[in-house]
Amino acid sequence: MKIEYVNFGIGYRLGNKILINKVLKKYPELHDYVLQHELGHTEGMSIKDIKHDLSFKNQLKILGLSIRHPSFLWSSSPIIIYNKKIHINLSAIIFWIIGITIGLLLVYGASYYISWIESQPIKAWP
Ligand SMILES: [Zn+2]
């Protein structure tokens, strides 16, 4: 397994190569967690990998550090450009679909609830 330090995202598994954001060298604990996580991926992209990404436990820590290190935010990009080649980031796409679906459900749920409240007859106070 080859590890290469890059200046974008958090960690990626591309075949038998692992890309890690060089900023993570400043956070040894998080670096080791990300490295272990990437080692847990398969070389391709399968349902197993998406499940593996959903189990990533340091999301909040990373999100907090993104304020200081905005390059982490590239991990949510649906594509990665590495060595002049475009790689699809399937997990990010799944996350976006889940996020947008939850957002739409909340908006529709709220507007349905509001129209239901408005359709109720006004009762006098007892
Ligand atoms: Zn992953």
Distance 123 CA to ligand 1 centre (A): 55
Higher pLDDT, 31 or 120: 31
Residue 123, φ and ψ in degrees, nearest 5: -100, 145
Q: What is the pLDDT of residue 46?
A: 84
CA distances from 114 to 102, 107, 111, 117, 119 (A): 18, 11, 5, 5, 9
Segment 116-125, tens digit of pLDDT: 999 988 877 7
Q: Distance from the CA of 45 to the center of ligand 1, in angstroms?
A: 10
Q: What is the pLDDT of residues 47-59, one digit of tens each?
A: 899 889 988 888 8
In angstroms, what is the span from residue 93 Cα to ligand 1's centroid? Answer: 13
- Say how many Å lie between the CA of residue 108 and the centre of ligand 1: 31
Domain boundaries, the chain: 2-90
